[in-house]
Amino acid sequence: MSSFKSPISLATSGDGGGDRVGLSHRASGEVHVIVGPMFAGKTTALLRRVKAESNSGRSVAMIKSSKDTRYAINSVVTHDGTKFPCWALPNLMSFRQKFGADAYDKLDVIGIDEAQFFDDLYDFCCKAADLDGKTIVIAGLDGDYLRRSFGSVLDIIPIADSITKLTARCELCGKRAFFTLRKTGETKTELIGGSDVYMPVCRQHYVNGQVVVVAVQNVLKPCSKIQSDSHMEEVAVV
């Protein structure tokens, strides 16, 4: 009977003693994902989980994107004002160095808010959970205002231990809201804002709302062009 050879290379220590397997004996990590539209309570759920981990004696740290400066720079803040200190970073792979290698090794749980803004989300989660044994709790938008995949959040679904899809309340009818409607005519994907820019809506009002937004844009474009042409004429006369 032929023997089975594992495709995983087993590293040995230089002196031949100690742990013969390259992987350490630390406990396996976990990845938990919280998604949903804006105003669904994703940050609240994230903070609740991280605080519960802290209250149980585990070491925790929170990270958010440095792009998000709406309510505070060095705190994760819910829409109702609840705060939790955090590391505001442009990318996740720099966290270990900034946090400190020794402190990172002792860390049990890492919370990540506004995860859609981190391009290195997948690589970080793989390393932190698979190799470093960390529990990662992530909150972010799964879709943008056009209901398309937003950032790398959906990329980590295959490596997640659990996925929680939250819903908000439709601002127009009160039904469950699964989508985020952008009120403005801005078309760039990353547009950070609050209730002045976005509202949670149900499917019906998302479709109707998109029709209204497009109609408003079509009305405003000619007006904007007329104003621009008028301004140019005034300049030419002067």
Q: Which stretches of 2-95 are assigned E, i.e. beta strand?
A: 30-35, 60-65, 75-77, 83-85, 87-89
What is the rounded distance in angstroms from the CA atom of residue 89 to the CA atom of residue 115?
11
Kindly state the tokens that stand for 123. Answer: 């690589």
30 is catalytic: no
What is the rounded distance in angstroms from the CA atom of residue 182 to the CA atom of residue 82?
24
State the catalytic residue, choosing from 114, 186, 190, 233: 114
CA 226 to chain centre: 41
Residues contacting 133, CB < 8 A, separation 6+: 24, 26, 27, 28, 29
Residues contacting 130, CB < 8 A, separation 6+: 28, 29, 159
Kindly state the tokens that stand for 180. Answer: 């985020």
- In this structure, the number of other CB atoms found within 10 A of the CB of residue 108 comes to 17
Kind of pairing, strands 75-77 and 109-113?
Answer: unpaired
Whether the CB-CB separation of 34 and 166 falls below 8 Å is answered with: yes
E strand or H helix at 189, and its extent? none
Kindly state the tokens that stand for 34. Answer: 């919280």
Catalytic residue numbers read 114
